[in-house]
Amino acid sequence: MENKSNETQGLIEPATADINQEKYYEVSAKEKLQYSIAGVCCWLLVACAAIMGAALLITVSVVDKSTTQSTGIMEYIEINIKTPLISDIQVTSNTTACGSGYTSMSLVQWPGTETGCFCDNLVFSDSIKKNACRKKQVGCSTIDAEPPKNLTNFEGSIFCVKYLQPSTDYVFTPSCSSGYTSCGPSLCVKNGLSCPLINVTYSSTTPSDLPPNTTSIQLNGGAGYLILQSGYSSTPLLNLQIEFNGAPCLSATQHPLKSTGNYYPLIESPPTGCGTYGTDNKSVFLTSYSEEGMYGDNGIPVNSVLKLYGQYLNGSVAQLYSRPRIEVQQNSYCNQLNVTMFQEATDSVEGIISNVKTCGLILLIGGGAATIILAVIVAKIVKSFSNYKVGLSIRWPIALVALGFISINVVMLAGARSNVRKLLAQKPALQELSDANCFINPMINQGATDFLSVPGKTIGIYYAVIVSLIVSILTSLPIFVVSGVYFRKLGFSLGLSDKM
């Protein structure tokens, strides 16, 4: 049998498709209803992909906003547990590596920037905004996004830290066995090693008459001295940290808010303040210098690449703080908190939010684009928005689109299910932590209690993903049936035979 294929572009057949179909086939009312249903499902498939993508993004955004502060408290507890005790700090420069056994300390992470557009205006003031410049936009240039970066250089000084090794150099136990010295409640350090650092203060002049177990280190460039104290304490030193607008927040996901002025328009995730749990009132302010200067010392291209950035930093300072560890109740449970619980909990929350946000965005963009393309093809080729004619013109490419949407939902569901299971597995341990009230600071206990609501909120995301998958499958089934029928007749050809 001789066939002449009418190859056409797009997902749908030309206007002649339905004419030829009715010419050679008598279409019953039942078949017409079936094709009409397929046409409706074709529209629903692409439209629902975009709608479900938007709904998922909104759901994730709401959950993320409502859980970020308590998740930050859990991350702060995790940092306290997994960061080894500090035995010594030295100062070096950016041209000199840390000595053997020492590692450079990250003071803060600069969040990076989004892509933006800078316009050099000769009449009005220069301007900068998010998103790339439009083509042929006169006097404007696109600024590429800059990735996040850990900052280690503070006014020419890099802090090299020597850590004690957990289990080898120290253990947490109610009473110290032979070969260990008590350096704090339930803290035993191996004989021959000094107790960890417990306090850091600042002096602009050379310190004199230092008490026992106290030393000083000079900052580079005549920027003063840090005074290091070691000894017995319930709250050894956790780290040195930079903040730009006040004392560090208790929640590790939060940063103090600027009191005046605006943030650079391209900055990723600008600070929103310390929120419910407030600042770490045990942190100790040491010294400060220009925020712009610190960025320059750490290779952030202020003004050279990130145009106008300096204007938004005018007068802002980078403030160096020392932070003690969280003080805990002295009992066997609180002194032996398992870091795995906190890692699993926080990683699972971040995992489900990141996974669904990415897949939801793909569905939104893909569904929106497919809806527009489908409307254009229907208008220009089928020349009829009749559901029957749209259904009659379905071919294998739209089946591939349907399969793609289902695959995205399956991947999203698999990731969400895995993370929800991990989080729920930690729920009994999280409840035990909340009941124990391990921390002297009541706000940290409150954060641990508030985190108990997070698993329930992530289950809401999981159910939304299930709904998205079900919708994609139901709207795809008629499309698979119709495209399968035509594929058996025509193969990969998109046209109908003029002769049978």
- Full 3-state SS string of 300-353: CCECCCECCHHHHHCCCEEEEEEEECCCECCCCCHHHCCHHHHHHHHHHHHHHH
- Whole-number Cα distances in Å, 168 to 51, 191, 288, 362: 55, 11, 36, 48
Residue 26 is classified by DSSP as: P
Spatial separation of the C-alpha atoms in residues 344 and 429, rounded to whole Å: 11
Q: Which amino acid is at 226?
A: L
Spatial separation of the C-alpha atoms in residues 297 and 381, rounded to whole Å: 61
Spatial separation of the C-alpha atoms in residues 129 and 367, rounded to whole Å: 28
Spatial separation of the C-alpha atoms in residues 392 and 390, rounded to whole Å: 5
pLDDT at 489: 63
Spatial separation of the C-alpha atoms in residues 187 and 232, rounded to whole Å: 9
Q: Which of 202, 193, 203 is nearest to 162 (CA)?
A: 193
CA angle, 153 as apex, 147 and 154 as ends, to 5°?
125
Adjacent-strand bridge partners of 227: 201, 216
pLDDT at 356: 95
Q: What's the mean per-residue pLDDT of the chain?
A: 86
What residues does each domain of the chain span?
15-66+345-490, 86-163+197-230+237-324
Is 89 within 8 Å of 226 (Cβ atoms)?
yes
pLDDT at 3: 42
Spatial separation of the C-alpha atoms in residues 382 and 81, rounded to whole Å: 65
pLDDT at 124: 66
Spatial separation of the C-alpha atoms in residues 451 and 444, rounded to whole Å: 11
String of DSSP letters for 50-87: HHHHHHHHHHHHHHHHHHHHHHHHHHHHHHHHHSPPEE
Residues 6+ apart with CB under 8 A from 491: none
Spatial separation of the C-alpha atoms in residues 51 and 47, rounded to whole Å: 6
* Beta strands at 157-163 and 170-172: parallel, antiparallel or unpaired: unpaired
pLDDT at 248: 96
pLDDT at 154: 94
pLDDT at 222: 83
Q: Could you say which residues of the chain have pLDDT below 70?
A: 1-28, 30-35, 122-124, 378-395, 485-487, 489-500
Adjacent-strand bridge partners of 217: 226
* Beta strands at 170-172 and 140-143: parallel, antiparallel or unpaired: unpaired
